[in-house]
Structure 1
Amino acid sequence: MLYYVFHRQLDALATLRGVLGGLDEFFNEKNFDFVMATAVLLVLAIPVGIANIYLGYVIGEGPCTLCWWERIGMVVVGVAGILILRYGLKARYIAAVLFGAAYGIFMTLRHASFSLYRDVGMGFGGDIFGAHTYTWGILVYWVVVVAMGLMMLFAKDKVVSEDISRSDTRIKPLSAYSKFVIALSLFVILSNAVQALISAGIPPYSGKGDPERISLNNTWTSGVWKRFEKPFSFVGANVVEDPFIAGEPKDISVKFNSDPSAGAFVDVKPALSVKNSFPLPFETKGFSAKA
């Protein structure tokens, strides 16, 4: 039995080795560019495009400040992917993808931590395929890190791998599919810039924590900068203060009076008195006829 299991495991390893070897051959420059263009489409053009065009212009949902920060991370990752398509898999572009993904994961987790506890299925923010928009970044950025790792692992084609350490600039020709993805991505970025101008305004104006519906009558505010006047906290403004303890010198917003003579029961009216009573003409029983 053990002999049979051992040989079955060897067969599985041989199959896996063959699959991985096939991936090595698959990631030539042409296929690598196709996969990279598709990744840009799935990271930038489609999710940011749906949030921007459908949820923004069609539904009228206005992004909050943290929504914009999540989108910015996707734009950074997508633009780095476009640069890889044009100039090759250079180390600086790989670093830009990974740093952008790290930034995006942090911002998404920060955003979700503020909102998940308030969202009990009543529509706090729009949803795409059942998941609220502010949670999608967790999946998108995680996929970016995994996909970039796989592409680095199997991109052993000589032309592709030499770009990592290349000191000069190599301008690569773009396929029709890559041109389409780049054009669509640039359109989405421009459309987001227009939407940001409508909803958030120009500096020093900024986005809102609870934004208005997208319209040309949106009011601009710079109130978000007041957050820098407070100590930094990972839970934002949703801070539960420490309880009041008599005699402890701690400054809290809710003020308490410790004077016992000013208690709540100083001027309480006299208790009500019973004016009349009579016995019930039936036996009292509780639930299910039990006394």
Structure 2
Amino acid sequence: MQNKNLATWGDDEKYFFNLFALAALALVALPVGIACVILGFGMGDSPCIMCWHERFCMVAVSFVALLIVRYGFKVKYLASIIFLTCLGLYDGFTHYSLDGTYGGYLDIKQGFGLEILGAHTQFWVVVVHFFIFLFLGVILFLGKNVGSIMKKSENGEYGEVLPSFTLGKIAVVTFVIIMGLNLIQAFITAGPPPYLASATPSRMSVDPSKWFWELDHWDGFEIDYRESWNPKLPNLPK
């Protein structure tokens, strides 16, 4: 089946797919782009291994949104966005419970993420994924004839791929650029396979002599159950 030209689409389709293109663009350009370009290349912040997984969830959600822009609104894409957002929330809450601003047991005010408006970046992971759910609800609420659009997408009535449109092209180009910068940052801070990102990474630098790659996490997942890093002194004999 041949693709329809965008001009022949109804206003409902144009509006709906433009909303998804805008959502994909905002997600990859703002939280992912800011974390990589401004915090990373600009301020030397290096993602830890958990930060990379959280960023992966945002990237994956944005990528699935672009699949909707290209192939239509299908059940498998909607389910993928919901699953990835739940995974991102789980990662964010777990990470923040360990390294959070207000008493994470690993954080003794040495950092583990730059602060934005007084909260570490781990906290903003939770905020971003919460807003993904919120914006998904807004898109489904504002979109008209969403059920009909999904049915047409599943039946291939729009064609094998959807026709290209301006906002969709901008979202794709932005995604490719931001992913390229993330690949560079990942190579600098984590290294090529089989190296993995560090739990306590050094500051990001373009100087290769300061790059630090490690294999520690291949040894298995370990949890440190130690108490405070500043224990009270014992009652020594006088």
Q: TM-score range by the shorter chain?
A: 0.7 to 0.9
Task: Say if 2:16 and 2:144, in contact at 8 Å, map to a contact too.
Answer: no
Give the number of aligned pairs: 213
Supply the AA of the counterpart residue of 1:171.
V
Map of 1:7-22 to 2, 5 A cutoff? Answer: none
| Higher-Rg member (1/2) | 1
**CA deviation string 1:131-164 (max 9, x = no partner):** 3211111111111123223433453437623245
Supply the AA of the counterpart residue of 2:196.
S
The TM-score normalised by the length of structure 2 is: 0.79
Tell me, what secondary structure is at the counterpart of 2:220?
helix
The equivalent of 2:137 in structure 1 is 149
Supply the AA of the counterpart residue of 1:220.
W
**CA deviation string 1:154-179 (max 9, x = no partner):** 53437623245325753112222221
The equivalent of 1:43 in structure 2 is 27
Superposed CA RMSD? 2.6
Task: Say if 1:27 and 1:155, in contact at 8 Å, map to a contact too.
Answer: no
Pair 153,85 (structure 1): closer, same or farther in 2 beyond 3 Å: same
C-alpha separation in 1, matches of 2:192 and 2:97: 28
The equivalent of 1:223 in structure 2 is 216
Pair 192,226 (structure 1): closer, same or farther in 2 beyond 3 Å: same
Task: Say if 1:65 and 1:208, in contact at 8 Å, map to a contact too.
Answer: yes
Supply the AA of the counterpart residue of 1:147.
F
Which deviates further from its counterpart, 128-137 or 44-53? 128-137
Task: Say if 1:86 and 1:174, in contact at 8 Å, map to a contact too.
Answer: yes
| Structure ranking higher on relative contact order (CA contacts 8 Å, 6+ apart) | 2
Give how far 1:185 is off.
1.3
Task: Say if 1:105 and 1:141, in contact at 8 Å, map to a contact too.
Answer: yes
From 53, 61, 65, the counterpart of 1:77: 61
C-alpha separation in 1, matches of 2:15 and 2:161: 17
Structure 1 unmatched runs, 5+: 1-25, 231-236, 242-263, 272-291
The TM-score normalised by the length of structure 1 is: 0.66
Supply the AA of the counterpart residue of 1:239.
Y
C-alpha separation in 2, matches of 1:105 and 1:196: 22
C-alpha separation in 2, matches of 1:163 and 1:192: 35
- Displacement over 6 Å in runs of 4+: none
C-alpha separation in 2, matches of 1:27 and 1:136: 35
Task: Say if 1:27 and 1:154, in contact at 8 Å, map to a contact too.
Answer: no
Tell me, what secondary structure is at the counterpart of 2:154?
coil
The equivalent of 1:285 in structure 2 is none
Tell me, what secondary structure is at the counterpart of 2:199?
coil
